Amino acid sequence: MEITYNQAKKLLGEYGQEHVLKYYDELEDADKKALLEQILQTDFSVVESCKHVGETAEKGKITPLKAMELDEIEAEKEKYRQIGLKTIREGRVAAVLLAGGMGTRLGSDDPKGMYNIGITKDIYIFERIVGNLLEAVKQADTWIHLFVMTSDKNHDATVKFLTEHSFFGYRGDYVHFFKQEMAPASDYKGKIYMESKSQMSTSPNGNGGWYISMKNTGMLDIVKKEGIEWLNVFAVDNVLQRIADPVFVGAVVDKKCVVGSKVVKKNAPDEKVGVMCLEDGRPSIVEYYELTDELMNAKDEKGDPAYQFGVILNYLFQEDALHKMAEKKLPLHVVEKKIPYMDGQGRKIKPEQPNGYKFENLVLDMIHEMDSCLPFEVVRNKEFAPIKNKTGIDSVESARALLRENGVEL
C-alpha cells in the first residue's frame, strides 16, 4: 500500500502533526518516498495518550496473591526439577530475550547487551545471559530455542555482535532474531519530534510488544513447528538471572498455572518495583507508584507484608494463553525520556535531560490477561542484578558486586 502527499497531509492534520511534512519539498525523491512510507506505517493515535499524563488508570479491587516461597520450593525442589527437565527435553520450552530497549539510562550508544562489565577481562552482558541459559542447556542436555527481540535502532549491531562472538558458545541455528515495532516519540505537548528532515523520531514500542512482534515476524511459526509450549521471557539487563530454570518450569507446570513470574522479596516497603497481587480476582501487578499506604502496610495471615513480592521481569508464559489474548489492546504507558531530535536550524540534538514522551506497552500488563499466575520466589542476591545505570542503584557497580558475591571473576 502507498500513500500520496495529499493523503499524508490529511492524515497528519487529523492528529495535529502537519509539521512532519515541513521539509517535504526540499527532499530527494527517495527521502520523500521514505517519509510517506513512515507516515503510512505510523499509528498516530498513540500520541493522543499524552493528554492523559498524570492520570492514573482506575485499578480494580486489589487483594493478595500467594507466592510460592523459598521454603516451599526447597521442600519439593527435586520433584519440580524433574518435571522441568522433562518439559525442556521434550522441546516444549523456549527463551525470549527482550533486547529491544534503548538503554538510555546506561548511556551507551551500543545495544545494552554489548556493554562490557568485566574489569580484568571482557565480560559482555550478552555473554552472561547466554552463559546463564547454557546452564539449563547443560542440565537438560538439550538445546533450547532462543528468540532475541531487537528494534530498528539496534538490530544490525546486535546481530553483528552476537554472530562475531559465535553466540558465546550457543548453537547459531537455535538463535532467532526478530524486530519489535516502533512508535513515534513526541515533545511534552504531543508534537512528534523529527529525527531528520525526512524522518520522525521513533522509539521501540515497549517490552509488551514482544508477542505481537513474534507473531508479525513469523517467529510463532517456528514455535508451532517445534511444538514449543512455554516461553520464558526475560530482560537483557539482569546478569544473574536463571533462564529456562528447570525448577521454575517444573513448579509452574505442576501448579497448572498459565504463567509463572519470578519474584524477589522487596528490600523495603517502598522499593520501586511492581508487586504481584490479584486485581478483581485476576493476577496483576501493582506498580510502586500505585501502592497506597494501606496496601504497603497490609499483612497476610503469617503477619508478613501481604504485597512484598516484587517482579524481576522473568516470566514463563504458556503460549496457548497468549494466543487467546493476542488481539487485545494492552494499555499504553507514556514514559518521559531523552529523545534525539533535529532542531529548527536542522541541527541534530542529543538531549542531556528528558525532553518528551515515548509510548510503550509493558509486559507486566499481560499478566492481568492471564487466568492464573504462580509468583515464584528466588533469592534476591543470587538471581537479581539488573543493570539500568552506570553507578548507584541497579547499576554496573551494584551488578559487579553481586557477581563477585556469586563467585564470578571480573
Sign for the pseudo-dihedral over CA of 144, 97, 129, 83: negative
Min CB(405)–ligand UTP separation in Å? 22
Q: Which residue's CB is nearer to ligand UTP, number 205 or number 395? A: 205
Q: Binding to ligand UTP (CB under 6 A): which residues in 339-378?
A: 360
Indicate whether 100 belongs to the interface with ligand UTP (CB under 6 A). Answer: yes
Q: Which residue is nearest to ligand UTP (CB)?
A: 101
Q: Binding to ligand UTP (CB under 6 A): which residues in 121-150?
A: 149
* Region binding ligand UTP by CB under 6 A among candidate stretches 15-23, 198-206, 211-219, 246-254: 198-206
Indicate whether 231 belongs to the interface with ligand UTP (CB under 6 A). Answer: no
CA–CA dist 105, 108 (Å, integer): 8
Min CB(102)–ligand UTP separation in Å? 4
CA–CA dist 73, 43 (Å, integer): 45
Three-state DSSP string of the chain = CCCCHHHHHHHHHHCCCHHHHCCHHHCCHHHHHHHHHHHHHCCHHHHHHHHHCCCCCCCCCEECCCCECHHHHHHCHHHHHHHHHHHHHCCCEEEEEECCCCCCCCCCCCCHHHCECCCCCCCEHHHHHHHHHHHHHHHHCCCCCEEEEECCCCHHHHHHHHHHCHHHHCCHHHEEEEECCEEECECCCCCECEEECCEECEEECCHHHHHHHHHHCCHHHHHHHHCCCEEEEEECCECCCCCCCHHHHHHHHHCCCCEEEEEEECCCCCCCCCEEEEECCEEEEECHHHCCHHHHHCECCCCCECCCEEEEEEEEEEHHHHHHHCCCCCCCEEEEECCCEECCCCCEECCCCCCEEEEECCCHHHHCCCCCEEEEECCHHHHCCECCECCCCCEHHHHHHHHHHCCCCC
Tell which one of 63, 104, 199, 216 touches ligand UTP (CB under 6 A).
Answer: 104
Min CB(150)–ligand UTP separation in Å? 8
DSSP bridge partners of 265: 309
Q: Which residue's CB is nearer to ligand UTP, number 360 or number 365? A: 360
Q: Which residue's CB is nearer to ligand UTP, number 72 or number 195? A: 195
* Region binding ligand UTP by CB under 6 A among candidate stretches 17-25, 80-88, 92-100, 302-310: 92-100
Tell which one of 102, 273, 286, 291 touches ligand UTP (CB under 6 A).
Answer: 102
Q: Which residue's CB is nearer to ligand UTP, number 76 or number 336? A: 336
* Region binding ligand UTP by CB under 6 A among candidate stretches 166-174, 235-243, 345-353, 373-381: 235-243
* Region binding ligand UTP by CB under 6 A among candidate stretches 31-39, 69-77, 104-112, 299-307: 104-112
Tell which one of 237, 245, 319, 369 touches ligand UTP (CB under 6 A).
Answer: 237
Min CB(25)–ligand UTP separation in Å? 34
Q: Which residue's CB is nearer to ligand UTP, number 100 or number 283? A: 100
Tell which one of 145, 179, 266, 388 touches ligand UTP (CB under 6 A).
Answer: 388
Q: Which residue's CB is nearer to ligand UTP, number 46 or number 98? A: 98
Size of the site for ligand UTP (CB under 6 A): 20
Tell which one of 194, 231, 233, 235 touches ligand UTP (CB under 6 A).
Answer: 235
Indicate whether 114 belongs to the interface with ligand UTP (CB under 6 A). Answer: no
Q: How many residues are recorded in the chain? A: 410
Indicate whether 95 belongs to the interface with ligand UTP (CB under 6 A). Answer: no
Q: Which residue's CB is nearer to ligand UTP, number 84 or number 310? A: 310
Indicate whether 98 belongs to the interface with ligand UTP (CB under 6 A). Answer: yes
Amino acid letter, residue 81: R
The binding site for ligand UTP (CB under 6 A) comprises: 98-105, 112, 149, 180, 204-207, 235-237, 360, 388
